[in-house]
A and B are shown apart, each in its own frame.
Chain A
Amino acid sequence: MKPIIKVKNLSKQYRLGAIGTGTMKEDAQRWWYRIRGKEDPYQKIGESSDHRTNGNTDYVWAIKEINFEVMPGDILGIIGKNGAGKSTLLKILSKVTGPTIGSISYNGRIGSLLEVGTGFHPELTGRENIFLNGAILGMTNYEIRSNLDEIIDFSGCEKYIDTPVKRYSSGMAVRLGFAVAAHLDPEILVVDEVLAVGDAEFQKKAIGKMQDVSHNKGRTILFVSHNMASIQHLCKTGIVLENGRIVNQDEISKCINSYLGHNIKTTSRVIDSISYCHPKIKIDSILINEQESNSIRMGININKVKIVINGFLKEEKAISLELRIYDNNEIPLAFFSPGHKVGKIPVIQQGSFSLLYEMELPNNMNKGSYICDMYLTYPGQATWLTIPRAIYIEADGKSTETGMVFEYEKGAGFLFL
């Protein structure tokens, strides 16, 4: 089968700062280069878009050299941090703005839903706005009229349908907007984080409608969200964007893993992840189950984590270990603090030290991956050492008597800690 969308070498450059000062000269320069058939002088400069670093040039690449393909009927999830280029990509796909370089080839109509209720006019009634909004989204009058009853029904605004939209509550306006969009029937649907606006029931309805459109009508959907649960639920494949580039392109669960765990290089050492260390403390090595690696595997009858921290103290300190365990969606699951069990914080003398802790994870841990943050503290008083995403735990899961393995990602069962 041939891909329905083919994105090739797509890049988009933005200019930083206030547009208007100095652009006249640059415009003239660009035009002069263009008529001589030369490359745009401003396309050579610019750097990848990393919000945290302050670059040297006034130009940034919001997305750079993006290549991917989407098969018909696929639901593609696009994930990434704020500023990774997701919205820019969607804007180019929905033709709101053009790319700087590269191209997108596709078949059929692209319908985009970057916002619900686009173009609603407050003075017009709900019914009039259905037609207006539908037409803006690319439907013909005939298509809207034949779906009108369904749209009104889906929105749940029958009673107010002949009242001007300015009298609507914001929730009603959103529902009406989505009801129209839900009946949009293009071959390719581009959806931004529009679902975030409604209540839980509405979100469920909206996601159900999108699944229905994809499964029953074979429509292709490109979906952006920060809500990993709905991405996981809805999408089959995904791409992960980082600083305007695709860093991963895979099955959706693998993409989510790589996105959420993107700071963990599973082959690196625990000690490399230290983000803060008190100046009076020197850490020489941290061993997890006798290894320096930050990645461990839990299996049947392998549920113990032995942590050894070797170092040097310049003055005596009361030190206690804390571990926080999260699942893939960064939902905290457990807190390990042996100091609480002892009831007294051990004081470590000046000089070399070696700390040993043993944590016993439950034997029936669900299959999935977990993240563990590590801290050395004097509880409630001071923090000596911070290692975010210190350990990466991969659990094989335990099969039950029926041979079933509970998988955390599939939402089956509980993790007992």
Chain B
Amino acid sequence: MIEVEDEAIVDQEKETYAHSITPQNSLFDLRLAEIWRYRDLLMLFVRRDFVAKYKQTILGPIWFFIQPIFQTVVMAIVFGGMAGLSTDGAPPILFYLAGVTAWNYFANCLRATSNTFTANAGLFGKVYFPRAVTPLSVVISNLIQFGIGILLFLVMFIIFAFRGYELHPNSTLLLLPLLIVIMGFMGLGLGMLVSAMTTRYRDLQYLVEFGVQLLMYATPVILPLSAVPEKYKFIMLINPMTGVIETFKYGFLGIGTFSWGLLGYSAGFTIIVFLVGLMIFNRTEKNFMDTV
């Protein structure tokens, strides 16, 4: 009898108080409204990351260009020139630059978000705000970097077009915003998942470090899907980034394969990984200070 009464009192209190702190957050409460309330903080984090990154460097934001240019040139020489790998008929520089630009966005998002908890333990240990703001800000500040990368790519694209190379930009380009969202959220989702798990077991953090590098070879950044032997094709098809990179290259250069199925798989994977990632992330943020 007494227990029943107790429950009634608890229910009553829940009604009269606006907020409560309990041992565990509900798994399905994504708390998007709370994240929205902290949108100012989100933008300030983005600004901080961007400004702080190149303070006291001489070249400043030019570093955003230098990185992909060198990566592309090296790829064009090693894989295109020396190894003579197929680029589906597109100019190697443009082919590799397209792959590198898109891949780097995803890879940077994943890498930078995957150590959210461990890297920010000092801050998180002192004050509360929805922790998801931090990885979200990383994705947005990387978006700026990606925008600069796309700009570089467009400049090169125009140069090559004037030189008379046959490029076939097509209506698939309209999917670009969707591709960006997929890449960002896939990186974010996986990153949140990893960061939630690394609070207890650091092993995953090391796995991500070189895993991202390895994964690039299972994505059509260097080797187009069409040039992959049947025997190994399934590896690339399982990789959810394949659809994104292929569509990106197809839209600008008109080469490679475009399939709704492949892209749909990428989108579906992204939605699931993001939701699961956010759920586990939100769940972890409550007590990670005790285990980090």
Q: A residues touching B (Cβ–Cβ < 8 Å)?
A: 2, 6, 14-15, 19-20, 23-24, 27, 91-108, 112, 114-115, 118-119, 121, 123-124, 128, 131-132, 135-138, 140-141, 164
Of A2, A105, A131, which is in contact with the most chain B CB atoms at under 10 Å from its CB? A105
When distances are taken between beta carbons in the complex, the residues of chain B under 8 Å from A95 are: 21, 128
Chain A residues lying within 8 Å of B41, measured Cβ to Cβ, are 135-136
Select from chain B the residue with minimum beta-carbon distance to A23. Answer: B200
Rounded to whole Å, the gap between the CB of A80 and the closest CB of chain B is: 20
Task: For A104, list chain B residues within 8 Å (CB).
Answer: 20-21
CB distance from B3 to the nearest CB of A (A): 14
- The distance in angstroms between the C-alpha atoms of A19 and B200, with both chains bound, is 8
Cα distance A124–B286 in the bound complex, in angstroms: 29
Q: How many B residues have CB within 8 A of the partner chain?
A: 36
The residue from B22, B24, B40, B126 contacting A118, defined by CB atoms under 8 A apart: B126
> Which of B17, B20, B124 meets A96, CB within 8 Å?
B124
Interface residues of B (CB under 8 A from A): 13-14, 16-24, 38, 40-41, 44-45, 47-48, 51-52, 55-56, 123-129, 200-201, 286-287, 289-291
On whether the beta carbons of A100 and B20 are closer than 8 Å, the reply is: no
- What residues on B are CB-neighbors of A108 within 8 Å? 18
A102 to B55, CA, bound (A): 47
User: Told that A115-B126, A140-B40 touch, could you supply 20 new A-B pairs with CB distance under 8 A?
Assistant: A6-B17, A14-B290, A20-B200, A99-B21, A99-B22, A99-B23, A103-B20, A103-B21, A105-B14, A105-B20, A105-B21, A107-B17, A114-B126, A121-B48, A121-B52, A123-B52, A128-B51, A131-B44, A135-B38, A135-B44
In-complex Cβ contact of A105 among B17, B23, B48, B287 (8 A): B17
Residues in B whose Cβ lies below 8 Å from that of A98: 21-24, 286-287
Q: Which of B13, B18, B127 makes the CB contact (< 8 A) with A114? A: B127
Q: Which residue of A lies closest to B42 (CB)?
A: A135
Using known A-B contacts A92-B21, A105-B14, determine if residue A119 contacts B286 with beta carbons closer than 8 Å: no
A124 and B127 within 8 A (CB) = no
Given A19-B291, A97-B290, A124-B52, A106–B20 Cβ distance below 8 Å?
Answer: yes
What residues of chain B lie closer than 8 Å to A164, measured between beta carbons? Answer: 55
Chain A contacts of B44 at CB under 8 A?
131-132, 135
Chain A residue numbers with a CB within 8 Å of B47 are: 128
Instruction: Return chain B residues, CB-CB under 8 Å to A141.
Output: 40
Q: Which of B51, B52, B127, B200 has the most CB of A within 10 A?
A: B127
**12 A–B contact pairs at CB < 8 A?**
A24-B201, A96-B124, A98-B21, A98-B23, A101-B23, A105-B13, A114-B127, A121-B52, A124-B52, A128-B48, A135-B41, A138-B38
